[in-house]
Structures are given as structure tokens and as C-alpha cells.
Amino acid sequence: MTKKPVKPGATRVVRTKIKKKSGLKESSRRWLERHMNDPYVQRSKADGYRSRAAYKLIEIDDRYKLLKPGMKVIDLGAAPGGWCQVAAARTKSSTDKPHVVGIDYLGMDPVDGATVLEMDFLDDAAPAKLVEVLAGEPDIVLSDMAAPTTGHRRTDHIRTEHLCEVAADFAISVLKPGGHFLSKTFQGGTEHAVLDLLKRNFRSVHHVKPPASRGESVELYLLAKDFKGRNPA
């Protein structure tokens, strides 16, 4: 494995080439080489973020101005913690009085300014537990959840769309009036049901593909702004 530096920009990028005789399958070698040469991956290490995904939230927030000091935030599918890091910093959530709560069935290291629940969001007890720990209604619900891939694109798409729909139902049930919802989705037909649900409950709905989302990826984000509020029972 050899490293070749390129011209520095805002962040110095180091090009890594993995030799073909590395014991890896060719597909694995290409993926690893692309990952290691990804400027967002290198930048995340330099900036102290858990993953390159942190920049997706940063870029969306820079454009739409979602996160403000004092906001209460719920982060679904939080591991490894990049979105929690960004949300805690931008809402000025403190370790003593955190107002960012994340959840994931995968374990992860603590995040300053956030409380993280190690449990499956699809567990029946999870929604109530999130609201209990947050101690109130959230101003924004974030979801970067994606189902573990099977290798079958259609199946993976449907499973992740299901998570998006469940996250949307949850957001509608807990958000403050005027709150926002941001969720990963995939390009394709099945998101229409989720879009219809969001358009009925929020004043504006946007498809967003931040620069940090790889161009060849079918990944998109749904942003629903200004929750209309729940009808009184």
C-alpha cells in the first residue's frame, strides 16, 4: 500500500493506493481504496467526527438553518454518533443538561452533550423511552437509519423505506408544532406514500441530496419543515 499526497486545499488529502496483491478480493480492494481516498472520510478524521455522514447533516443544516441553540433533538439510528455530535454542537447541548437524545441497537462511545439509548427503535418501548429521556417534545427528529443490506437492491430499498415511514409516523406523533423532520430515503417509487403523509402534516417538504452524499448513491434525504401540529383528540 502506497500513499501519494496531492495538492492541499481546505483539507490536505492523501491518496492511498492498495496493491492488487494485497490478499483482498478485487471488489473489496476497490471499495477500500475508494473509502480511504474519500476526502470526507479524511476530513472527518481531521475534524474529530465519528463518520463522513456528519457532513451530510452539516451541509443540510447550513442550507436550511434547522438546528438552533436550545432545540431538543431526537436522532434515530445514531451510531456511530456523527449526527449526534453535530446536533449537540449546533444546539449548544451540554453534558450536564443534554437536550439531544440518540438511539441505536449498535453500541457506540458516549457523545458530549447527548444521551444515547442502546436499543432498537423498532422495539415497542422505544418511542416512549425517547420522549421520557428527552423530557419533552422534540423540535426536530433526525433519522439516518438504513436497513442492513442484503445485496438485493429492491429488497434493501423497501426495507429502508419502511424505516423512513416508521420514523415519519414517530415524528408526527411527538414533534412540537413548527418542528422539523429529516430522514434518509432512497430514490424510487415507494417513497410516495411517505411523501403524501409528510405533505399532509408539514408546511413544506423537500428532497435533498447534500454534496457529502456520494453522487452514484441512490440515497436522498426527505426534509419536512414546519409541522402543522396534531389534531386535538
- Which positions are catalytic? 184
Q: How far apart are CA 223 and CA 184, in angstroms?
A: 9
- Three-class DSSP category at 26: helix
Long-range contacts, 61-70 (Cβ 8 Å, 24+): 61/86, 61/90, 63/208, 63/210, 64/206, 64/208, 64/223, 64/225, 66/140, 66/180, 66/182, 66/223, 66/225, 67/91, 67/140, 68/139, 70/99
Instruction: Give ∠ CA 221-170-201 in degrees, rounded to 5.
Output: 70
